[in-house]
Structure 1
């Protein structure tokens, strides 16, 4: 008579477990449909395992990001008093577990607390790993593990979908940020550059992501002076565009005061520092051409040195100061002064030029630009830039531009 009773009891237990599974699946599904937070889902999952399935130890690892090798412990049971080694990464060991298996590693700092591991797959990629320890009731352990696997799959897929949704929102926000930044920056970059009998400006401007940190500008005065500048701001997107907008406003406001370049650069540094508190900075080159005196005054603030080349001379314009905005008061500031030859070419650029690489891994080093400028110094600014751009395209071939690229060339015609 005892055998039929044992069989009935076993069937009753199996039925009870299946009812628990169906009921909990329904609750989980309703919670997911109601957009319950990931933390609340984890707590429901944890309570179910502990209270209804009698799990003593459990750990659920979920993917941290799109790279499979990075995982985080989302929730655990029975590990409150366990001291795991800090800074230990179990990612590779988890990735080696391709299917549900029993664990027998008594000396492992993590695995020794568990008896089973179940990988959760989504589109054939692991999105979670469940480590299961002992049960308070060892009866029907196989069925319990199966139920845990089913529930865990539901939870893990829901969490993965939430993560993918958050990533989509972040991507959309990033795209909106870049779009807004590009529109702001488009309004800041000069469209029409001066060209007359005395001087000519020409620019190459290629932001890497549609909106970058490069900036150039100019200002002409009725007394025949021309001020032109180029800069490279830290940061991207709207934050860089807004900083650039503020910088441009300060540039035009301060340059209209017609103060000496020394005072102008000191004041514009203070304006950048007030906005950024030293957390952002800009490399900057500014030059003032006096066509009456045929003289160039300039300040280089941590920027790649501009190139001044003529028929018989070559010079790097490197006098100046440190980057702008990193400290409130510049520690030193020197204004460079150059008496120009009858005709000259001045080439300014951002570091996106010298960061360019060829297919062979060679860099477009400064010396390549210097040699090119020596050969092309007699060209107009526009033709020089066209030839330089063709040289860059030939150099990089199918390699992409690693950063924003800006080149501002000034051709001085003199008398």
Structure 2
């Protein structure tokens, strides 16, 4: 299972009432203007943002309008998108994943390239790779990024005189001092099993800094996790935290909400998690959210310190959109990927991380942990998570990480088991070389 933005929001927020636009709602054609249809998934915050963008776009360009349509999430929604593209029945524009799932849409065959649009030059290079096929760019970003790494309690750090670590050795040294002070150094919440993957997945920037071509080689079955030292380190880090006794005592039974409360209260000092979770801390512990900061998962070389990023999804134009509608669709993508479009999104849904458009800034009132992401982007020290660069991800990863992080299985054994899990998944996907 991929850690997808929508799935994560659902994990925190629970199932909310779904909304959809009905015929005759926002975006119907008015007079001789051009009306575009826009397909998004039915996650409530996604719909809310799409409607806000459509309204703002129509206000700026009264002759153009957007009608928002919705589809289910998950596999059913994926099938709808692929079917509508293959039958030529897709809406004028649509929102979908970036990265490997975008590649599965066969963009050269089904989508209109947007390289000729000015907004493309303003996109963060790391994001741009996730909507690019054979050198052509096909999408504009919607929403902000999500960082993978460590939430940390700033009050604990201040009290103990600790500095944010840039190497794993410094991180473990901090943990020793934190444990001596009677605070749980590293919160783990294995009852919410997907959270067990974060250390392994957030370590990908460190893998790519040593093996820049790892994603391509991995997809082609030319490298394995178990036999690639930099990739194996993710499992080793899990084992090292457990073997040092740095986890909370209830790590096996604790759930996500327990972990978020611990990091907010300072009964735990570090929580490996994705920054989407900061919104829940702000909602549940508003008086404590200022005490929560964030840093990227440290690697073994301070000079290569950087952030693994879960990139935003994209907005795309199918090749069936043509003429005046194509021109209007490109204008809409340019509006979304602009400071004006980012402001609309920020006012509608709290950002989970920096935007990937030059000139877009985070609101001044975002929590400190979200602000802490920005320096990594300013330094261009970011790498998309592996799932945005390769379709290869075994479904048993979270169970394997639980075993390694619980001391049930050694890191090397976990890596070998995961390589076997990945092989079965790659063969099911029909990837060449497997």
TM-score w.r.t. length of structure 2: 0.21
Q: Whose strand fraction is larger, Structure 1's or Structure 2's?
A: 1
Point out which structure has higher relative CO (alpha carbons under 8 A, 6+ apart). 2
TM-score w.r.t. length of structure 1: 0.21
